[in-house]
Structures are given as C-alpha cells and as structure tokens.
Structure 1
Amino acid sequence: MGNNKSLRDMQAEVDQYISQFKEGYFSPLAMLARLSEELGELSREVNHFYGEKPKKSSEKENTVEEELADMLFVVICFANSLNIDLQKAHDAVMHKFNTRDKDRWTRIGEEGEDENGNN
C-alpha cells in the first residue's frame, strides 16, 4: 500500500496484520481499555511538550505523533472488531458537521457578522 492510504486501506492493512494471530481482536471492553491507555500516553506527551510538566530524564522519548498513531491503530482495531467501516462513518460525521453544525462556528473572514451577514 502506498503513501496515500484511505481509511479503508488502513483498516484492511490492520486487519491483515491482526488476522495472522490466533488471538485476533480484543473484546470491545478490552479495546476501550487500550484506547484509554493510549489516550493517557498521548496526554502525557502533550503535557511534556506543551504543558508545564517536564519529562524525567529516565523517561523514554516519545512524540505526540507516535502516540496519535498508536491511538489511530487502536481505533482501527476497535472499528474492525465491530465491523464498522470508518470511511463511511467519517463521511457521515462530516455530513453532520456540514449540515447541523454549519453555522455553529465563526468562519474566517466573517468576524463581527451576524447570522444575516450584517456587521
């Protein structure tokens, strides 16, 4: 698979990886626990890089990018284990944001305008 992978490509790649093991995917509760664990690791890295808590000299050097990738892997595993097409789910959520929430935020270039375009 190339560098321009779709969500479906990523789900297929993860499924191919997981399918080689007898254990397969974890249960939904175990997957949620793994996702929570990865979120904690991401939180720790964000706090080290952007917060007030410096890293201990004995701590492994991770990056926010690595931790986000770990979370993405677990999210894909979770979706695969429940037969959820993330591409379809993403399209649905973007439709929701572009319809229901289309006027929720101030668009760039519209500062100070009301809902009728008046200043």
Structure 2
Amino acid sequence: MGTDDITLSQLQSEVDDWIQTIGVRYFSELTNLAILMEEVGELSRLMARKYGDQSFKPGESADDIPSEIGDILFVLTCLANQMGISLQDVIQTTIKKNTKRDLNRHKNNPKL
C-alpha cells in the first residue's frame, strides 16, 4: 500500500469522524439507503452514456465516474457504521463465499 492508502477500518473511522464533526449526525438508515440508490443511479447514468448507447448531456462527463463511485462508497460506509458492520469482515466473508461457490464455475464457462 502507498502512503495515502487506508484500510477499511480506517475508512470507517474517517467517515465516522466526518459525520460527527461536519455532518453533525448520521441520517437514518432508510434515508441513507435512499441516498445510496440515488448515487448508484447517478453512476448508472454515466456508465450508460460512456459504455452504452446514450450520449452525454451538456455538463455531463465520464470524468465524473470516480466521484460517483466515491459517493457510493461513502454512503455504504455510513450504513455499515450505523449497523455496526465491519467492512473488513464482510468483504473477507464475501470473498470466501464467492471462492467456494465459484472456484471452477467461471473457468469452466465457455462464454468467458
């Protein structure tokens, strides 16, 4: 990792510090879920324009994709913090689950 890299635990702590000092408090979990869906929609719109058949509207740019991914990660981290979920634990569990389930699945997929 580079000097600017942070762990998932550090990410959760940094987001929590931001919420407590600048954001004042967390929005409700349901509100954050709605915000997460909104941010995913914004990423989807840009992806459809860059990789799909739609064209960009004035003021839109593929350069905004990283910002939208950052917004999604921020809100997802808020939700994890609110529910007491460790992002480190869940990603490790998910990787193990996917590895067990898909160990040979993708290698044997003639479409890939």
Greater per-residue helix proportion? 2
1:50 aligns with 2:51: yes
Structure 1: which 4+ aligned runs deviate by more than 6 Å? Answer: none
Q: Tell me what 2:21 maps to.
A: 20
Show structure 1 runs of 5+ residues with no match: 112-119
CA distance in 2, matches of 1:4, 1:22: 23
Other-structure match for 1:5: 6
- Secondary structure (helix, strand or coil) at the match of 2:69 reads helix
Q: TM-score, normalised by structure 2?
A: 0.84
Quote the offset at 1:102 in angstroms: 1.4
Cα distance change, pair 39–103 in 1 and its aligned pair in 2 (3 A): same
Q: How does 1:1-119 map to 2 (within 5 A)?
A: 2-21=3-22, 23-57=24-58, 59-61=59-61, 62-106=63-107
Q: Which structure is larger by alpha-carbon Rg, 1 or 2?
A: 1
Q: Give the length in aligned residue pairs.
A: 107
TM-score, structure 1 length as denominator? 0.80
Tell me, which stretches of 5 or more residues in structure 2 are unaligned? none
